[in-house]
Amino acid sequence: MTRNDRIKKQADGIKLKIEAVVRHIEKVQSNCLMLGKKLIEGGEFELGKQLIASGYKHDNSKFHGIEFGAMTGEAPTIKDDKKIKLKFAVHHHNLTNLHHPEAWGGIEHMPRVALAEMVSDWKARSEEFGTNLREWISDTAMKRFGFKENDEVDKQVMEFVNLLCEKPFSEIKS
């Protein structure tokens, strides 16, 4: 393989990964905009505005440092252990992005704007993976982040989910 072939192959890989990140960010931004406007309509003017602004900063860290390096294979190698690099990148991401509970020392410490962005992120991921957001919250998120059905965190999370998601046909009364 020639030098030009290697460069093209590496460039193509980087472009694909950037495109995937950008698609995700755009979905989260769209969710934040929709939810923010609904919050404003409901009288939560400042929260809605803050959420929309947060959406435009969502996951920016993925374009820098260890996160970009782990995503593109450019991170410094530790005997080329990709799993270790990815673990450090995820840890860094969760601690430096305020829509992750780890950045606050737990989901119960998150302000409403961070919870709203987190739900916007979760909805984007559920669309990307073709999963049911409500089921993922009850089956996975509650255990992972330590909240329970009908507690204060769950009430806020479900408020945002209900504003973002259409009701299932089975719940629509004619």
Q: What is the DSSP letter of 103?
A: G
Residue whose token pair is 């049911």: 132
Beta carbons of 41 and 34 less than 8 angstroms apart: no
pTM, two decimals, is 0.89
Digit-coded pLDDT (tens) for 83-134: 888 899 999 999 999 999 999 999 999 999 999 999 999 999 999 999 999 9
> Which amino acid, residue 81?
D
Beta carbons of 115 and 163 less than 8 angstroms apart: no
pLDDT band at 1 (very low <50, low <70, confident <90, very high): confident
Q: For residue 116, how many other CB atoms are within 10 A of its CB?
A: 30
Beta carbons of 101 and 107 less than 8 angstroms apart: yes
What distance in Å separates the CA atoms of residue 148 and residue 152, rounded to the nearest whole number?
A: 9
Quickly list H helices, 42-111. Answer: 45-55, 65-72, 82-96
And the tokens for 118?
Answer: 């987190």
- Residues contacting residue 57 through CB under 8 Å, at least 6 positions apart: none
Digit-coded pLDDT (tens) for 61-97: 999 988 988 877 665 555 557 788 889 999 999 999 9
Domain boundaries along the sequence of the chain: 3-59+97-166
Q: For residue 114, how many other CB atoms are within 10 A of its CB?
A: 21
What's residue 159's pLDDT? 97
